[in-house]
Amino acid sequence: MNENNISAQLRDIKPLLEIPDNSYYIYWGLIIFVSLLALGILFFVAKKLWDNRKINLAKGYVEKLKAIDWKDTKKAAYEATHYARLLATDERKRELFSQLEPMLEQYKYKKEVEAVDTETQKLFNLYVQVADERI
């Protein structure tokens, strides 16, 4: 009877139910989401820092243009061309640079050069003023 009682109790035990387990997918989904979020934040921070760096470089270039000593005409022409080319990033500055560059070329590549003429000096000052306003 004891055996019948045990087998009767065993018949009342139901089989194990299959419980859907999505925790694996939720875990990897959260890891991917957090990774994408972190990459997005890192991208925008890096972009902001890069934009600030460009502005700071441009300010430095303008200061170097303002500090050019025109007593040594040949060296000044090389410096002006170098920094003006680096600053020519928008249409207006590119147009002014394309006008200024041939004027500066006459002071480069020669052994002896004369002092800078007023036309070149005026255009250079205009370029520096436009570059300073655009920063």
DSSP structure string for 33-79: HHHHHHHHHHHHHHHHHHHHHHHHHHHHHHHHHHT--TTSHHHHHHH
Which tokens in the block code for residue 25? 């997918």
- Percent of all residues in the chain with a pLDDT value above 90, rounded to a whole number: 62
- Does residue 62 sit within a domain? yes
- How many domains is the chain partitioned into structurally? 1
Contact 83, 58 (CB under 8 A): no
pLDDT one-digit tens code per residue, 71-117: 999 999 999 999 999 999 899 999 999 999 999 999 998 888 889 99
Residue 69 domain flag: yes
| Containing structural domain, residue 108 | 54-133
d(CA 127, CA 131): 6
Taking the alpha carbons of 105, 106, 111, 116 in that order, is the dihedral positive or negative?
A: negative
- In this structure, is residue 85 part of a structural domain? yes
pLDDT at 10: 64
